[in-house]
Amino acid sequence: MARVKRGVTTHARHKKVIDQAAGFRGRRKNTFRTATQAVEKSLQYAYRDRRTKKRNFRALWIQRINAGVRLYGLTYGRFMHGLKLAGIELDRKVLSDLAVREEAAFKALVDQAEAALKKAA
């Protein structure tokens, strides 16, 4: 039976890992054993942080809405409750964008929310 030489396969597998480690510092970028560990850890961080990013953006949107609403003497919680009572279903991403870029439109939403809160009380 003929001998199987695996140099090409091994080299390709190593090259794939080394290419993924491009941009790392020190031995982590060019030594296969340490590069493998570094790449595996970086993929774990990437997986975890794709979920964390969603949390961070939601928190940012809430902070922007809260800052925009407090200019008109309302809190974030009261504003969101007022929007729900008024039947306005805009997500936090859109609301924060309005608070930052379209002050007049956001003011109209705040007025509607306040009116709904007064009506409910």
Q: What is the DSSP string of 21-88?
A: TTT--GGGGT-HHHHHHHHHHHHHHHHHHHHHHHHHHHHHHHHHHHHHHHTTT--HHHHHHHHHHHT-
Given this model, what pLDDT does residue 1 score?
85
- The CATH number of the domain covering residues in 4-118: 1.10.1900.20
Q: pLDDT value at position 25? A: 97
What Rg value do the Cα atoms of the chain yield, rounded?
26
Which pLDDT does position 6 carry in this prediction? 85
**pTM given for the model:** 0.82
Mean pLDDT (10-residue bins), the chain, 121 residues: 89 97 96 98 98 98 98 96 96 97 96 95 77
pLDDT value of position 45: 98
Q: In this predicted structure, what is the pLDDT of residue 116?
A: 96
